[in-house]
């Protein structure tokens, strides 16, 4: 086998990421036939197929998956270099593109991002919220440096993800003072039959809370469920029902939403992850977030 042609490898890399020759051609601004020719030359050099048909698209063979991992490492490092040089041309300001899972509480998101605003080197934060599937796709396309999530995320053939556990905290139950006054008796038994505003079914916190209710023999009356935990807290603030809040932001919930703590949901834990595509270089702001999270969650 002769020396590797990196143009052939780049075309293969884009086809693997896009899932088809046609889609890759659009990304590369060339014709599909040009992509096919480059791909065939690489496969001839490897002396075995790198793709197999999967419906209307293409799927990597075992050898193709190995080749893709090497190509991903080579070209993603090049993307990082381009981003670094582009930042220097703009005057040296760092840029952090961060995605946030819908299920992550807004107050927690801010607490995790806040250390970046105090970095010695200024950093421009671009933050967007989306579904886990959308965020994984954007990590694969290097449109995001980091995703903050309350669950680990799974990658795929186009991207290998690194899930770093930032830390964890307990969860407490909160209510407005007016609602709390109507709950005589000992916590948590006094929650039986009480109106609850909860995260949507399927979320990590909801699964933990359902298990806790079962353990303590409490049957809540669920009056509302929200994907957006900020909206859930607003509903709780207006007295719609009792709400669960991660301990790490419990003091902020009391200050911002005017609710009071009824007690802790023993055994219910909220975890926080920083998810990134496998990279050669760590973004300075990502390092700052990880360090700040350790301090924040160690205080819990």
CATH number at residue 31: 1.10.10.10
Q: How many domains are there within the chain?
A: 3
| CA–CA dist 56, 45 (Å, integer) | 25
- Amino acid 174: pLDDT: 94
Q: Are 177 and 256 members of one domain?
A: yes
Q: Are 227 and 279 members of one domain?
A: no
Of 260, 240, 255, 249, the residue nearest 300 (C-alpha): 249
In a domain, 80, yes or no: no
Q: Are 160 and 291 members of one domain?
A: yes
Q: Are 138 and 200 members of one domain?
A: no
| Residues spanned by the domain of 26 | 6-75
Mean pLDDT of 105-112: 88
Q: Are 101 and 240 members of one domain?
A: no
For residue 158, the domain's CATH number is 3.40.190.10
pLDDT in tens, 150-171: 999 988 766 788 899 999 999 9
In 46-160, DSSP assigns E strands to 51-54, 57-60, 94-101, 123-130, 146-149
Confidence of residue 66 (pLDDT cuts 50, 70, 90): confident
**Helical (H) or strand (E) element with 161:** strand 161-175
Q: Which residue has the higher pLDDT, 257 or 39?
A: 39
In a domain, 290, yes or no: yes
The tokens describing 87, both together, are 């930042």
Q: Are 144 and 288 members of one domain?
A: yes
Confidence of residue 267 (pLDDT cuts 50, 70, 90): very high
**Helical (H) or strand (E) element with 214:** helix 204-216
Lowest mean pLDDT among 2-6, 25-29, 50-54: 2-6
| CA–CA dist 72, 107 (Å, integer) | 35
Q: Are 60 and 151 members of one domain?
A: no
- Amino acid 258: pLDDT: 84
The tokens describing 202, both together, are 């399927």
Q: Are 181 and 260 members of one domain?
A: yes
| CA–CA dist 206, 188 (Å, integer) | 17
């Amino acid at each position: 086998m002769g020396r590797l042609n990196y143009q052939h490898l780049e075309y293969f890399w884009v086809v693997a990421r896009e899932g088809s020759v046609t889609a890759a051609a659009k990304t590369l601004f060339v014709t599909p036939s040009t992509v096919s020719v480059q791909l065939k030359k690489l496969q001839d050099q490897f002396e075995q197929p790198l793709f197999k048909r999967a419906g209307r698209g293409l799927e990597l063979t075992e050898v193709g998956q190995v080749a893709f991992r090497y190509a991903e490492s080579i070209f993603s490092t090049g993307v990082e270099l381009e981003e670094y040089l582009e930042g220097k041309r703009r005057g040296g300001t760092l840029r952090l593109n961060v995605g946030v899972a819908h299920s992550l509480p807004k107050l927690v998101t801010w607490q995790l991002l806040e250390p970046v605003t105090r970095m010695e080197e200024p950093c421009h934060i671009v933050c967007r919220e989306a579904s886990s599937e959308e965020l994984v796709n954007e990590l694969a396309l290097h449109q995001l440096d980091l995703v903050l999530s309350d669950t680990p995320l799974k990658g795929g053939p186009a991207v290998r993800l690194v899930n770093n556990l930032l830390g964890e905290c307990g969860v407490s139950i909160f209510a407005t003072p007016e609602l709390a006054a109507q709950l005589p008796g000992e916590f948590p038994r006094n929650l039986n039959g009480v109106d609850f505003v909860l995260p949507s079914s399927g979320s990590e916190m909801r699964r933990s809370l359902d298990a806790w209710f079962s353990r303590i023999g409490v049957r809540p009356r669920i009056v509302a469920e929200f994907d957006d935990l900020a909206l859930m807290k607003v509903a709780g603030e207006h007295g719609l029902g009792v709400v669960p809040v991660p301990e790490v932001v419990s003091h902020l919930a009391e200050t911002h939403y005017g609710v009071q703590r009824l007690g802790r949901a023993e055994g219910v834990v909220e975890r926080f992850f920083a998810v990134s595509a496998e990279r050669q270089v760590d973004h300075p702001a990502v390092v700052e977030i990880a360090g700040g999270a350790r301090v924040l969650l160690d205080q819990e």
